[in-house]
Amino acid sequence: MTRRASVCTAFALGVALWASPPASAQAPVDLKIGAMPLNTWWYVAGGAVANLIQPHLPPGTTIEVLARGGGIANPVVANENKAQIAFSNVATAAWAWMGEPEIYKGKQHQDIRSLVGGINPLWIVAMLREDYIKRTGNDTLEKALADKTLRIIMKPAGSSVPPVARLVLQSLGHDVETFKKEGRLLQVDAAQTTSMLRDGRADLYFESAPKGHPAVTEITLTVDMRFLDYPQKTLDFLAKNGLKAVSMPPVFKGQNGPTKTVDLGTSIIAHKDLPDDIAYKVTKLVVENKDTLVKAHQAFNDFVPEDAWKPENNAIPLHPGAERYYRERGWLRATQ
């Protein structure tokens, strides 16, 4: 399912945006924004960005928010120019650029460029149903994974969640394929996870969990879940694979305090051939309209516009249009 931003009212923001007039003398363009399936924060964010930039592009321009993809898939989609703009993880963009051997099979995807980095932290968390903990006494990740009755649920391939979950299991001496062969690991769309957990058809849930994530919020409000700390050896193993160990503040029901986890980061990337003026406008509008974006989704609260250009928040080269904007702001120096 896709949605045209020109007719989309779900994310109507009603706020005056950038004061420059639309570039009416230019020819209209067709843009696709790589997001994720419905009921995910990237889909909401994609709609918000589409509404933000639409009035400032040539009349007749269409913007389609793709209700598919994810952290692993979106760098590939952008690299192939099937989406001219896309949400990405900072880590997965770097993995795609370098051709990470296991996820990207050694194929380098170097036609991608970054527009805006540091959108928000993207924690990859593990949650157990409280009913499972009461029934088994397994209240840690190590204990749960050792249980031969444990059932795991996560997003399908294309999301950044499965490869991180694979690394988590690997760090603790387990193998994803074994769980799959035994029928104890299911990968389903976010829209299905709530009912499966509520009905007791799954016990352990791996998910990306930015602040205000629709699926995580719904699940934690309707099912008693407990967020688990990753063991130190897991954090160390993940750090060697490009994932930053962090302490996730309590933002969801089910957290008894800060949670030890990892951060993938979120950025907005583009194909290298996205016209410089469009890349400039997208960058400028996102950086200068944080308050507007926060009204669409609270995950934007953590965005620090002044840090949007920093290498650690992008991991891949900036698009020339974005680079021009950051130089104009005085954040990016001539020597950088």
Separation of first and last alpha carbons in the chain: 41
Range of the domain at 248: 123-263
Give the CA count within 13 Å in the CB-facing half-sphere of 31.
33
Shared domain for 133 and 257, answered yes or no, is yes
Phi, psi of 203 (to 5 degrees): -120, -45
Q: Is residue 334 part of a domain?
A: no
Nearest C-alpha neighbor of 268 from the set 53, 107, 65, 78: 78
Q: How many domains does the chain have?
A: 2
Asked if residue 17 is part of any domain, the answer here is yes
Q: pLDDT 10s per residue in the chain (336 long)?
A: 433 333 333 323 332 333 333 333 478 899 999 999 987 889 999 999 999 999 999 999 999 999 999 999 999 999 999 999 999 999 999 999 999 888 899 999 999 999 999 998 889 999 999 999 999 999 999 999 999 999 999 998 878 899 999 999 999 999 999 999 999 999 998 778 889 999 999 999 999 998 888 889 999 999 999 999 999 999 999 988 878 899 999 999 999 999 999 999 899 999 999 999 999 999 999 999 999 999 999 889 999 999 999 998 998 999 999 999 999 999 987 545
Q: Distance from CA of residue 119 to its chain's centroid?
A: 9
pTM: 0.73
283 and 311 in one domain? yes
- Tell me whether residue 292 is in a domain: yes
Q: Is residue 336 part of a domain?
A: no
Statement to judge: residues 270 and 184 lie in one domain: no
**Is residue 335, in this structure, part of any structural domain at all?**
no
Q: 151 and 40: one domain?
A: no
